[in-house]
Amino acid sequence: MTKSREAVHKVLRQSAGFRSAQDVFAEMRACGSKIGLTTVYRALQSLQDAGRVDVLRTDDGESVYRACETETHHHHLVCRKCGLTVEVTEPSVERWAEHIGLEHGFTDVTHTVEVFGTCSACAAKTEKAGKAEKTEKAAAAE
């Protein structure tokens, strides 16, 4: 692996969630690296091709990247609020994908499944903020 790819991979391994190429570039430059944005994009593509990083498309179409924790096929459970990501496997999804492909005459079926939601920590913060707002409104009404 080239020095640039290793440096980009290191940034992703130290990150908890998915990161955009721009985020990786900004962090590396802030730490004194002279790496260019084009080199970051090339490194991310090479790492993705090698199966070392996962890539997701955000709702606005931006690609975001994360270092794989495992080398086996997996899916992601991603918090919409904080980006916390958990790698998950689910054999029933694998069977379903194969079945649906065969049912429609497809072979060599592959798939990507990403599940989005709100993690328990973010849900607790939202609930706490909601309770505090109700308390403030009640106090203001008195």
31 is in an annotated binding site: no
Q: Is 74 annotated as a binding residue?
A: no
Angle between helices 21-30 and 3-13 (to 10 degrees): 100
Residue 111 is labelled as binding a ligand: yes
Axis crossing angle, helix 21-30 with helix 37-49, rounded to the nearest 10: 120
Burial of 32 per CB tally in 10 Å (0-12, 13-18, 19+): exposed
Q: What phi, psi does 47 have (nearest 5°)?
A: -65, -40
**99 labelled ligand-binding:** no
CB 5 within 8 A of CB 53: no
DSSP-derived pairing of the beta strands 19-20 and 63-67: antiparallel
68 is in an annotated binding site: no
Residues at the binding site are: 73, 79, 82, 94, 111, 119, 122
Residues at the binding site for Zn(2+) are: 79, 82, 119, 122
Residues at the binding site for Fe cation are: 73, 94, 111
